[in-house]
């Protein structure tokens, strides 16, 4: 047993004796660790104990072990790391700027289980054989997803998607090269004017970040209610009521799905609704809310704006056999105003691929789309389309032609 292991063991014993809580007594524990390290160094000088090679490194290691998440804590502290996932205790990956790397970190099965238990404790969520999947949020806003056997072959699969704040506003997106200035100007005006915006893209394309940036353009006097499976949005709004889903209890009761949250949100006097991600039948309730005149925004997994609008016409059919295409298609056409399509490029960059308007017209089951901004020669340029509801832009004080850059 080396010196660091001895120090960690002594610290854990003192925590048990003094009944300290790592979540509540962080300052006390930090002082305790430093005292134990100093005491160990003094004893090692007198002989009988292996000296610490680096006292500061030993302190940091023990603090990570008792206050943080052990061997993966350095990756959580590293601002360049966006995601961490564990396929096997000896197979820990991270992603930097969208590019995956296999790390040199090697864990044990017991360490993985201990890490998961510690991560789930603040959220109150659980994982066991009856519920082998779990989604939860870490205290810093990072999203945790865990799958256990026998859904997996033998190892626990752990995925931590960090909330890396690189952009809070559309101007930040412009500075990062994800969006052009004219496109950002239009989106700011569209949100401020109360248009309904759908953000679509693949996994890790930056949909939640874009939703956060779009929300920064919401007028300060509006009341916003958001619904998410797990808290991910980080909005800087004065009147914001965030809600998240709840897992089923051990007795098989108490589950609160996203659809229930969307329904309850309508009773909370919202000026605008935000749905973190639309996946299933909650899309029907969202469409009904938007169609009734409540402005809103949501994200959706899709590879193009056209696929996104088709998916929005399909998902509501999951709500029941009495929901028909003849009702859904015209409702989607009149409820969704703008689609922002994102992509994660091969080099790890996240960019807006296209911004499309939905004029509100449909021919059979096909909804008409109008290209506002499109990718040409690796650049986002003005298309030939125009957004709907130009009267809303006018009431909010915007000239559509000027906003789109069509008027000098």
- DSSP assignments along 218-270, one per residue: S-TT--EEEEESS-------SSEEEEE-B---TTS---B-HHHHHHHHTTS--
Kind and range of the H or E run holding 366: strand 366-367
- 14, 102: one domain: no
Per-residue model confidence (pLDDT) at position 369: 97
Cβ neighbourhood burial of 34 (10 Å; 0-12, 13-18, 19+) = middle
Higher-scoring residue by pLDDT: 346, 239 = 239
In the block, residue with structure tokens 């014993």: 13
Angstrom distances, CA of residue 333 to CA of 8, 44, 172, 190, 344: 61, 74, 31, 17, 27
Per the CB < 8 A criterion, the answer to whether 246 and 228 are in contact is no
Higher-scoring residue by pLDDT: 171, 407 = 171
Cβ neighbourhood burial of 368 (10 Å; 0-12, 13-18, 19+) = middle
- 61, 81: one domain: no
- 310, 227: one domain: yes
Residue 139: pLDDT band (50, 70, 90) is confident
Per-residue model confidence (pLDDT) at position 122: 83
pTM, two decimal places: 0.84
- 62, 77: one domain: no
- 63, 76: one domain: no
Lowest-confidence range among 98-112, 152-166, 257-271, 316-330? 152-166
For residue 355, the SS3 value is: strand
DSSP state of 73: H
pLDDT 10s digits, 81-90: 999 999 999 9
Residue 406: pLDDT band (50, 70, 90) is confident
- As a whole number, the mean pLDDT across the chain is 91
Is residue 329 over pLDDT 80?
A: yes
CA dist., res. 372 & res. 307, Å (int) = 17
Is residue 173 over pLDDT 90?
A: yes
What domain count does the chain have?
3
Per-residue model confidence (pLDDT) at position 57: 86
- Please give the average per-residue pLDDT across 211-232, as a whole number: 95
Per-residue model confidence (pLDDT) at position 1: 52
- 155, 215: one domain: no
In the block, residue with structure tokens 């703008």: 338
Nearest Cα to 318, choosing from 257, 360, 362, 273?
257
Higher-scoring residue by pLDDT: 250, 74 = 74
Cα torsion through 346, 347, 348, 353, rounded to 10: -60
Is residue 356 over pLDDT 70?
A: yes
Per-residue model confidence (pLDDT) at position 170: 95
Cβ neighbourhood burial of 99 (10 Å; 0-12, 13-18, 19+) = exposed
pLDDT 10s digits, 390-405: 999 999 999 999 999 8
Residue 270: pLDDT band (50, 70, 90) is very high
- 139, 87: one domain: yes
- Please give the average per-residue pLDDT across 288-304, as a whole number: 95
Domain end among 14, 38, 67: 67
Structure-token pair, residue 141: 């806003």
Lowest-confidence range among 25-29, 240-244, 271-275, 283-287? 25-29
- 52, 152: one domain: no
- 304, 192: one domain: yes
Is residue 319 over pLDDT 60?
A: yes
* Containing structural domain, residue 43: 3-67
- 217, 290: one domain: yes
Per-residue model confidence (pLDDT) at position 180: 95
- 263, 150: one domain: no
- Please give the average per-residue pLDDT across 167-194, as a whole number: 95
pLDDT 10s digits, 79-123: 899 999 999 999 999 998 788 999 999 999 999 999 999 899 888
Per the CB < 8 A criterion, the answer to whether 223 and 270 are in contact is yes
- 213, 230: one domain: yes
Task: Give the whole-number percent of the chain exceeding pLDDT 90.
Answer: 64
Residues 6+ positions from 385 with CB-CB distance below 8 Å: 356, 357, 369, 370, 371, 372
**What CATH number does the domain containing 182 carry?**
3.40.50.300
Cβ neighbourhood burial of 375 (10 Å; 0-12, 13-18, 19+) = middle
Domain end among 33, 51, 67: 67
pLDDT 10s digits, 280-295: 999 999 999 999 899 9
Nearest Cα to 276, choosing from 315, 226, 236?
226
């Amino acid at each position: 047993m080396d010196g660091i292991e001895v120090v960690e063991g002594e610290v854990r014993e003192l925590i048990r004796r003094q009944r300290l809580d790592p979540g509540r007594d962080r300052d006390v524990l930090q002082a305790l660790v430093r005292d134990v390290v100093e005491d160990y160094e003094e004893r090692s000088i007198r002989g009988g104990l292996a000296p610490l090679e680096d006292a500061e490194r030993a302190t940091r290691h023990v603090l990570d072990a008792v206050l943080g998440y052990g061997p993966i804590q350095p990756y959580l502290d590293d601002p360049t790391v966006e995601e961490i996932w564990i396929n096997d205790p000896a197979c820990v990956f991270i992603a930097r700027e969208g590019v995956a790397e296999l790390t040199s970190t090697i864990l044990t099965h017991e360490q993985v289980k201990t890490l998961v238990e510690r991560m789930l404790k603040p959220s109150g969520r659980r994982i066991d054989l009856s519920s082998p999947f779990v989604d939860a949020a870490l205290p810093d806003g990072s999203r945790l997803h865990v799958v256990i056997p026998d859904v997996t072959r033998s190892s626990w699969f752990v995925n931590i998607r960090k909330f890396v704040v690189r952009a809070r506003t559309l101007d930040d997106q412009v500075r990062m090269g994800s969006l052009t200035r004219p496109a950002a100007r239009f989106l700011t005006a569209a949100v401020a004017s109360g248009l309904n915006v759908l953000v679509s893209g693949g996994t890790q394309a930056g949909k939640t970040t874009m939703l956060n940036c779009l929300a920064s353009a919401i007028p300060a006097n509006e009341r916003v209610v958001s619904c998410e499976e797990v808290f991910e949005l980080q909005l800087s709004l004065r009147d914001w009521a965030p809600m998240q889903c709840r897992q089923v209890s051990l007795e098989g009761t108490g589950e609160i799905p996203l659809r229930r949250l969307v329904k309850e949100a309508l009773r909370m006097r919202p000026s605008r609704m935000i749905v973190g991600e639309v996946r299933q039948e909650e899309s029907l309730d969202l469409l009904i809310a938007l169609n009734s005149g409540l402005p809103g925004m949501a994200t959706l997994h899709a590879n193009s704006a056209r696929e996104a609008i088709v998916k929005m016409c399909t998902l509501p059919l999951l709500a029941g056999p009495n929901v028909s295409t003849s009702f859904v298609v015209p409702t989607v056409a009149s409820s969704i105003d703008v689609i922002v399509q994102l992509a994660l490029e091969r080099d790890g960059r996240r960019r807006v691929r296209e911004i499309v308007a939905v004029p509100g017209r449909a021919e059979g089951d096909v909804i008409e789309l109008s290209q506002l901004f499109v990718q040409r020669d690796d650049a986002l340029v003005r298309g030939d389309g125009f957004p709907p509801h130009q009267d809303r832009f006018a009431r909010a004080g915007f000239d559509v032609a000027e906003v789109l850059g069509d008027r000098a």
